[in-house]
């Protein structure tokens, strides 16, 4: 009985913020953290908000924001709560209410980039849906921001991860400029699609006017030794990955109406006119 009374008194004398933490569902936080919150020794609401956003828990997120979480805090790696909305492996639809909730509470970091140069729009392009991209664009997300290593804009992430929905959405913003988009190596979106085996997006890129014959720059950046210092076409990249990749690319080109020939050595050629 004494132990119960002591625990109740300890709870009553806690700040409202710590009491709120003690009442959060235990699955939201680790058991050891839950005990620490109840004792008043830890009040890191930002971590809880990131976790709630990752799990897309609208009610818990609203409760945390109501209690004054610093939503404009940027982590040591440059991430914000927005980053945790778009993650690999999440198949359920994201409620736009979470993004709207952030904005309505004064979130001002839509275009903040991580130490790798990824923005929220990069993550949505890679892991999200067309609707996610539309919502971010409505809140002035910048489609021209580039990553640090290869200078990818968000649409490159759509292609890298084979996300057809976000690719189409971002292509609508890029317009005809999509044909001239290249990374630091001079690789087009078609080069990227072939390199990562994102064959599902290649028909769209071909229809948008990207040229399978287009050459990249000669580069050593993030390339295997066999490809370094060479000006490459998307076909060269397919051939580097082996016969299976070449055959798949050949089939996609043929289905797109491009007359190609696959010779006995597994090389793609265009017939002489």
Distance in angstroms (rounded) separating the CA atoms of residues 249 and 214: 15
Q: What is the DSSP letter of 199?
A: G
Q: Which residues contact 140 (CB under 8 A, 6 or more apart)?
A: 110, 111
Please give, one letter per residue, the 3-state secondary structure of 214-244.
CCCCCCCCCCCHHHCCCCCCHHHHHHHHCHH
**Model pLDDT, residue 182:** 98
Alpha helices in 75-201 (DSSP H): 96-104, 120-127, 130-138, 154-160, 164-174, 189-196
Cα of first residue to Cα of last residue in the chain, in angstroms, is: 94
Predicted TM-score of the model (pTM) = 0.78
218-236 residue pLDDT tens: 999 999 999 999 999 999 9
82-85 contacts at long range (C-beta below 8 A, 24 or more positions apart)? 82/53, 82/107, 82/109, 82/110, 82/112, 82/120, 83/114, 83/118, 83/120, 83/123, 84/50, 84/51, 84/53, 84/54, 85/53, 85/54, 85/56, 85/120, 85/123, 85/124, 85/128, 85/132
Q: What is the pLDDT of residues 18-46, one digit of tens each?
A: 444 444 443 444 444 344 334 333 346 67
Strand partners, 269: 261
Q: Where are the domains of the chain?
A: 1-38
> How far apart are the C-alpha atoms of 43 and 22, rounded to whole Å?
10
- Tell me which residue of 202, 70, 127 sits closest to 119, measured CA to CA: 127
- Nearest CA to 189 out of 172, 173, 217, 208 is that of 208
Distances, alpha carbon 29 to alpha carbons 9, 18, 34, 162, in Å: 23, 14, 6, 33
Q: Give Cβ neighbours of residue 64 (< 8 Å, ≥ 6 apart).
A: 45, 48, 49, 52
pLDDT value, residue 269: 52
Mean pLDDT of 239-263: 84
Pick the more confident residue, 7 or 114.
Answer: 114
In terms of Cα–Cα distance, which of 184, 110, 182 is closest to 150?
A: 184
Tell me, what's the pLDDT at 147?
97
What tokens were used for 198? 């994102």
Question: What residue has token string 């948008």?
Answer: 208
- What is the mean pLDDT of the segment spanning 135-157? 96
185 vs 267 pLDDT, higher one: 185
What are the pLDDT digits (tens) for 53-84?
A: 888 888 888 888 887 777 777 777 777 888 88
pLDDT at 123 exceeding the cut of 60: yes
C-alpha 115/C-alpha 110 separation (Å) is 15
């Amino acid at each position: 009985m004494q132990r119960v009374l002591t625990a109740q008194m300890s709870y009553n004398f806690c700040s409202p913020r710590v009491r709120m933490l003690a009442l959060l569902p235990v699955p939201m936080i680790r058991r050891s953290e839950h005990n620490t919150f109840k004792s008043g020794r830890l009040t890191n609401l930002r971590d809880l908000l990131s976790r709630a956003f990752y799990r897309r828990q609208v009610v818990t997120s609203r409760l945390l924001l109501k209690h004054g979480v610093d939503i404009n805090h940027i982590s040591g790696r440059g991430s914000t709560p927005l980053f945790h909305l778009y993650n690999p492996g999440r198949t359920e639809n994201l409620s736009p209410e979470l993004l709207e909730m952030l904005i309505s509470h004064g979130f001002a970091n839509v275009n903040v980039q991580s130490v790798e140069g990824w923005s929220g729009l990069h993550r949505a392009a890679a892991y999200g849906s067309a609707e996610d991209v539309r919502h971010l664009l409505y809140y002035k997300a910048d489609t021209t921001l580039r990553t640090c290593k290869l200078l990818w804009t968000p649409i490159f992430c759509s292609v890298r991860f084979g996300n057809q929905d976000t690719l189409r959405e971002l292509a609508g913003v890029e317009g005809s400029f999509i044909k001239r988009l290249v990374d630091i190596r001079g690789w087009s979106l078609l080069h990227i699609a072939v390199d990562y085996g994102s064959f599902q997006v290649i028909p769209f890129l071909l229809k948008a006017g990207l040229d399978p014959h287009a050459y990249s720059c000669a580069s050593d950046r993030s390339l295997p030794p066999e490809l370094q210092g060479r000006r490459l076409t998307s076909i060269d990249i397919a051939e580097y990955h082996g016969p299976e990749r070449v055959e798949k690319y050949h089939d996609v080109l043929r289905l797109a109406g491009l007359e190609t020939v696959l010779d006995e050595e597994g090389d793609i050629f265009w017939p002489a006119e």
